[in-house]
Amino acid sequence: MNKVILASGSPRRKLLLENYGFDVAVVKPDFDESTILENDAALLVTALARAKNRCVSQTSSCYEFPVIAADTVVCLDNQILGKPSDRTQAYNMLSMLSGATHTVFTGVCISFEKRQTVFCEKTDVSFYKLSKTQIYRYIDSGSPFDKAGGYGIQDDMGIAFIESIKGELSNVIGLPMARTVSEIKKIQGDKNET
């Protein structure tokens, strides 16, 4: 069974799954993320992934296939950076990340029938020192506004910011694929053994 339900509107997560051979149906969760209050990045992303999964997996059309929900944040010096809402926020975030090392946390919740697994992966990313010109050029591209921390490592311009990465690249894009694929196989395998 290669079909999965993605409880996310992220085109990047959908593409990652498709590149691994999955047939992906997108069902966006109708969920207010501001209702989850948590200061710890790992706990926040896992709580959000769990809530998004629950929101989608309760619909009857999703019972036959694994439901995958995820949430990603950037954390710098214990400060959680979500998606910037305007140019000023984007500039401030990118200025903070400039010349520093931050951690990307992605929480994933996968459910299939009555089984569920939840995990969090983290990746350390170091930025080169960025000039104001680089930051404003990137902001002008419109890219920062739908991405945690205000950047996308998969963007032509965003990749140029990266000095080094320690961990899984796909985690920074929004879904840690090695662990996700492994957990999908496990959760489906459990059913085949019963």
Whichever domain contains 106, its CATH number is 3.90.950.10
* Number of domains observed in the structure of the chain: 1
Please give the Cα distance from 162 to 98 (Å, whole number).
10
Please give the Cα distance from 43 to 8 (Å, whole number).
19
Crossing angle between the packed helical segments 87-97 and 132-140, to the nearest 10 degrees = 140
Q: Which amino acid is at 36?
A: I
Per-residue pLDDT tens, the chain, 194 aa: give them.
Answer: 489 999 998 899 999 999 999 999 999 988 877 778 888 999 999 999 999 999 998 875 666 899 999 999 999 998 999 889 999 999 999 999 999 999 999 999 999 988 999 999 999 999 999 999 999 999 999 989 888 899 988 887 888 899 999 999 999 999 999 999 999 999 988 544 43
pTM for the full model?
A: 0.89
> DSSP for 17-49?
HHHTT-EEEE------GGG---SSHHHHHHHHH
Domain hosting residue 73, numbered range: 3-193
Say which of 23, 32, 71, 86 is annotated catalytic: 71
Q: Known catalytic residue: 71?
A: yes
